[in-house]
Amino acid sequence: MAKFLNTSAVTYHLEELIKNSNERLVLISPFLRFNDRIRELLEDRDRFKIDIRIVYGKNELQPEENNWLKSLAFVRTSFCKNLHAKCYLNESRAIITSMNLYEFSQVNNNEMGVLIERDSDSTLYQETYTEAQRVIRISEELKVTVERISREDENPSAEESSSSEPSPTPSAPDSGRKISTSQLAKANGIGGKALFQKFLERGWIERVDNSWKLTESGKKDGNGEIRNNPKFGEYIVWPEETVV
């Protein structure tokens, strides 16, 4: 039988729902925005290779948060026009609620919700699951990244920027053109995530506060440079001829 949830109960059961997902996790919410606790839980589930689907109607993440979400290998995101539903489910439970995923709603608003257990109310759970799958089907699957805004190869892309700023000029006449990490990955026919991992293993970059930072080794051995985009901040460029 479905169980009524107040604000604190929704918060508790939502955390438990994410934490205890072992096969799949579906998060449907109008606003793509997370508090720190949910980010931690998603990272944990991603480590266990859980199939995670997030459907949203409006992206409110900052560029570095977009890149954090993109770094989660088992998370797929979809955009659904005119989305207003808030529904969260795993393989055994579902929550239908007024609560969004971001912290303001959980701290300041008065929320309500309903918890549905698959074992005790299989029909209602299946109806909820079926509708969630329909929402996923009508959504456009997107990689959450600022790269999508950039349309020309010479623009900084993916992890760094979405502006129309021209490609960085060489720092010296014989240094060759320098391009972003994502452009370098594309030029070598590998995924951006795989290239970041290679550079991480070489010690050229490091992870600081959910962002990639250039190390001293990356500057010296990889000839990497930090460039700045007025809108999206710092990003890293490498010689176009870098061996990956």
Statement to judge: residues 38 and 135 lie in one domain: yes
Distance of CA 160 to the CA centre of its chain: 15
Distance separating alpha carbons of residues 154 and 142, to the nearest angstrom: 22
Give residue 235's pLDDT band: very low, low, confident or very high (50, 70, 90): confident
Report the phi/psi class of residue 27: left, alpha or beta, with left for phi > 0 and alpha for psi in -120 to 50: beta
Statement to judge: residues 138 and 24 lie in one domain: yes
For residue 73, pLDDT over 70 is answered with: yes
Give the count of domains, the chain.
Answer: 2
Statement to judge: residues 135 and 162 lie in one domain: no
Distance separating alpha carbons of residues 57 and 139, to the nearest angstrom: 9
Q: Which of these, 231, 67, 230, lies nearest to 147 by C-alpha position?
A: 67
Range of the domain at 138: 3-142
Window from 51-60, 61-70, 159-168 with minimum mean pLDDT: 159-168
pLDDT of residue 12: 94
Q: Look up the pTM and report it.
A: 0.60
Which of 123, 142, 161 terminates a domain? The answer is: 142
| 72 SS3 class | coil
pLDDT in tens, 195-205: 988 999 999 99
pLDDT in tens, 28-38: 999 988 888 89
pLDDT of residue 62: 75
